[in-house]
């Protein structure tokens, strides 16, 4: 008896009771569907994060102050020194592996246009940073390196503060007062949405100006140690390892800040952040995958249960087949094939469902889930395996039925 004929018999049997067949598959459909979806979202999330960091560059080391947020009482044991423009200069000139350094200055500011004023924050930086951090401009343009050198009095406004001051009017080209100094608005930043909005939200009320311009006007942020920098970006020279540079930066700053115990700064790099994120994502995927595996197991047991019921119900049919000459092997094969067919069908439906849901998630969120060939292979493979494993027991029971007892059953 050929496989094809067995398959046909199985298909006829499943079709004859299609509602039950679907119910039999249900557990497996859900199990396979969720595995596919979870893996797809896991892969999609990792890609998304990687994309977010791509423009950031993995050759960039970030230094920031490590202090409790404003308003929290400071730990008096820790004497925290601010990061300063001088720190930045020292890092750039004293560590050979660093090709360039760039920082963000910031202070509170009052922005005035046409008798309207708004509170905001003033940031000074170089245009390179806007590129590194992947900011985009809604209107106008960002300032250039030349304008930084020339101390050009230009400003790029965050969207919120621009809307507040200008309303429906076109801000680009207008003269504004920033802490009393006249600046020309040359651009408005695009408001970020999605996962990384929070991390750039501070820009929404910002006036961004050339580093040199902010540097000369800093009043509030001049500390006993020098002019304060919010954050420093260091670019490493090609061929230098990020770990080595991170180590040197840490050592130099410890020396400069006379650290004896805990650091008052934080040194990080994109690769590190990416690694941490990947580890978290992988852990989550494994955990959710385990839950899904339990769902698969339950799906398999469900198949076994219903196959057992089906064997009992079809006792007479089995007896008849045996009377007509079907050997135990043939009956075993018939029921195993039935179980495998139902599992593979369930697996495929689950795959389709998982895939569809993944596509829906992709359409509605910035994360684009990705159904990999591996996931497809796994889903169908696991489903087939479950069918085989959980189908054998009921099939053996069918094969062992005593034909006499089976034929006497009503």
Partner 1 sequence: MLIRLENIRKSYKLGNNEVPVLRGIDLDIDSGEYVAIMGPSGSGKSTLMNIIGCLDRPTSGNYYLNGNNVATLDRKALAQIRNREIGFVFQQFNLMARSDALENVMLPALYAGTPAKERKVRATELLERVGLAAQIQQRPNQLSGGQQQRVAIARALMNRPSILLADEPTGALDTRTGEEVLALFEELNAEGITVLVITHDQEVGNRARRLVRLRDGLLETETSQVMSAQ
Residues at the interface with ligand ADP (CB under 6 A): 404-405
Angle at 235 between CA 250 and CA 104, to 5 degrees: 80
Surface-to-core class of residue 286, CB atoms within 10 Å of its CB (0-12 exposed, 13-18 middle, 19+ buried)? exposed
Site for partner 1 in 294-323 (CB under 8 A): 316-317, 320-323
Q: Residue 383's closest CA among 336, 344, 333, 335?
A: 344
Asked whether the CA dihedral 217, 220, 225, 231 is positive or negative, the reply is: negative
The least CB distance from residue 324 to partner 1, in Å, is 5
Nearer to partner 1, 297 or 407 (CB): 407
Q: Which range in 124-132, 190-198, 348-356, 400-408 contacts partner 1 by CB under 8 A?
A: 400-408
The least CB distance from residue 312 to ligand ADP, in Å, is 17
Helix axes 315-323, 270-313, angle to 10 degrees: 70
Of 137, 281, 298, 330, the one binding partner 1 by CB under 8 A: 330
Residues in the interface with partner 1 (CB under 8 A) total 21
Residue with tokens 């660093």: 98
Name which of ligand ADP, partner 1, none residue 110 binds, using a CB cut-off of 5 to 8 Å depending on partner kind.
none
Q: What is the DSSP string of 217-275?
A: H--TTEETTEEBEEEEEEEEPTT--HHHHHHHHHHHHHHHTT-SSS-SEEEEEHHHHHH
205 binds partner 1 (CB under 8 A): no
The least CB distance from residue 390 to partner 1, in Å, is 24
Question: Cα separation of 251 and 263, whole Å?
Answer: 10
Of 234, 326, 349, 367, the one binding partner 1 by CB under 8 A: 326
Name which of ligand ADP, partner 1, none residue 94 binds, using a CB cut-off of 5 to 8 Å depending on partner kind.
none
The least CB distance from residue 22 to ligand ADP, in Å, is 36
- Judged by the rule CB under 8 A, the positions of this chain that interact with partner 1 are 1, 5, 12-13, 16, 316-317, 320-330, 403-404, 407
């Amino acid at each position: 008896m050929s496989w094809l004929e067995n398959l046909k018999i199985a298909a006829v049997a499943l079709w004859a009771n299609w509602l039950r067949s679907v119910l039999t598959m249900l557990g497996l459909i859900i199990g396979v569907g969720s595995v596919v979806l979870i893996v797809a979202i896991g892969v999609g999330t990792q890609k998304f994060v990687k994309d977010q960091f791509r423009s950031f560059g993995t050759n960039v080391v970030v230094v920031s102050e490590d202090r409790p947020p404003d308003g929290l009482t400071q730990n008096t044991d820790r004497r925290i020194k601010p990061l300063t423009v001088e720190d930045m200069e020292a890092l750039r000139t004293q560590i050979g592996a660093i090709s360039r350094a760039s920082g963000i200055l910031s202070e509170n500011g009052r922005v005035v246009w046409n008798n309207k004023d708004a509170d905001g924050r003033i940031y000074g930086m170089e245009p390179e940073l806007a590129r590194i951090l992947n900011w985009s401009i809604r209107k106008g343009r960002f300032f250039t390196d030349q304008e930084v050198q020339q101390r050009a009095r230009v400003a790029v406004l965050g969207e919120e503060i621009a809307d507040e001051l200008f309303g429906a009017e076109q801000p680009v080209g207008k003269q504004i007062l920033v802490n009393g100094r006249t600046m020309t608005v040359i651009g408005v930043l695009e408001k970020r949405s999605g996962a990384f909005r929070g991390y750039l939200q501070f820009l929404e009320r910002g006036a961004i100006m050339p580093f040199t311009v902010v540097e000369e006007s800093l009043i509030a942020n001049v500390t006993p140690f020098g002019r304060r920098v919010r954050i420093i970006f260091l670019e490493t020279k090609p061929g230098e390892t990020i770990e080595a540079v991170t180590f040197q930066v840490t050592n130099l700053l410890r020396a400069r800040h006379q650290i004896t115990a805990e650091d008052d700064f934080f040194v990080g790099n994109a690769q590190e952040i990416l690694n941490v994120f990947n580890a978290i994502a992988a852990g989550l995927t494994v955990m959710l995958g385990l839950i899904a595996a339990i769902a698969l197991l339950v799906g398999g047991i469900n198949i076994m249960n219903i196959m057992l019921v089906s064997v009992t119900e079809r006792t007479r049919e089995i007896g008849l087949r045996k009377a007509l000459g079907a050997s135990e092997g043939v009956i075993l094969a018939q029921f195993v094939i039935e179980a495998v067919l139902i599992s593979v069908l369930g697996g495929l439906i689950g795959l389709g469902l998982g895939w569809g849901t993944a596509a829906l998630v992709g359409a509605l969120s910035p994360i684009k889930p990705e159904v990999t060939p591996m996931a497809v292979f796994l889903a169908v493979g696991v489903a087939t395996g479950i069918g085989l494993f959980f189908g054998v027991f009921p099939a053996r029971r069918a094969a062992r039925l005593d034909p006499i007892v089976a034929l006497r059953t009503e």
